Amino acid sequence: MIHRTALIDPTAELGAEVSVGPYCVIGPKVTVGDRCTIAGHSVIERNTRVADGVKIGYGTVIGNDPQDLKYKGEETWVEIGSGTIIREYCTVNRGSTATGRTTIGQRCFIMTYVHIAHDCVIGNDVIMANSVQMAGHVTVFDRAIISGLVPIHQFVRIGTYAFVGGGSRVNQDVPPYTKAAGNPVHLYGLNSVGLQRAAFSPDVKLALKCAYRLVFNSDLTVSQGVARARVELPEVVEVETFLQFIEESQRGVMV
């Protein structure tokens, strides 16, 4: 299942039932798990751990050097979780010395031409449409969806179950469970479609709606809204996730 034109470094380790297409290059210190598919002309340059059942599309380049002027050749890594699909012509850079690794979780769907820069952390079940361009140190939490042609500023966080509309320029944090779109980008309420599809209970959705109104649609400042929500709303895990994300923001949250 390895094409005769593929070049595989002697230090690379390939699991069972791995398919490697024509003209692929798999470099040193690469580990590929069982039942992975690596399409033709792909490059896994070095220092990359690929878990079981990952599919890598035609012409994709993974594990190349971070695009960071501070990088001086230190050993850093890329890690890709099981069941993730990375489509054609994507690029995933290794981490810098700041964290040592770039991480993509399990069961993600990364569409064509996506760039994932050094030290990014992508959670589980994340979907990124075509041509999402991520700067370094971006964090995307579980089950977020990012539409096509979205540039994301370095150190930005996108919360769990958040939705980012196509063509949006994301330069601040997107809170969990919310919907953001536009250029300049703004919040447009909760990601109600995502919450419905994920079968959140009516009580949880109502609590999140009340928390969103206090924080973003009231006469209060963001910090005052967070404090008021903690006093007035019932203790709900999702509400606490929403409020804690906002409190921990370093770049500020969009409104």
Active site residue: 118, 137, 159, 225, which one? 118
Question: What is the residue type of 46?
Answer: R
Residue 73 annotated to the active site: no
Phi, psi of 170, rounded to the nearest 5 degrees: -100, 105
* Angle between helix 222-232 and 237-247 (nearest 10): 160
What does the alpha-carbon distance between residue 54 and residue 41 come to, in Å, rounded to a whole number?
16
Active site residue: 63, 95, 105, 136, which one? 136
- At 193, is the secondary structure helix, strand, or coil? helix
Residue 125: alpha-carbon gap to chain centroid: 9
CA dihedral 227, 220, 247, 242 (to 10 degrees): 80
Give every CB contact of residue 63 below 8 A, 6+ residues apart in sequence. Answer: 27, 30, 43, 44, 45, 46, 47, 48, 77, 78, 92, 93, 94
Residue 118 annotated to the active site: yes
Alpha-carbon distances, residue 224 vs 138, 211, 214 (angstroms)? 27, 12, 9
Query: Could you give the residue numbers annotated as active site?
Result: 118-119, 136
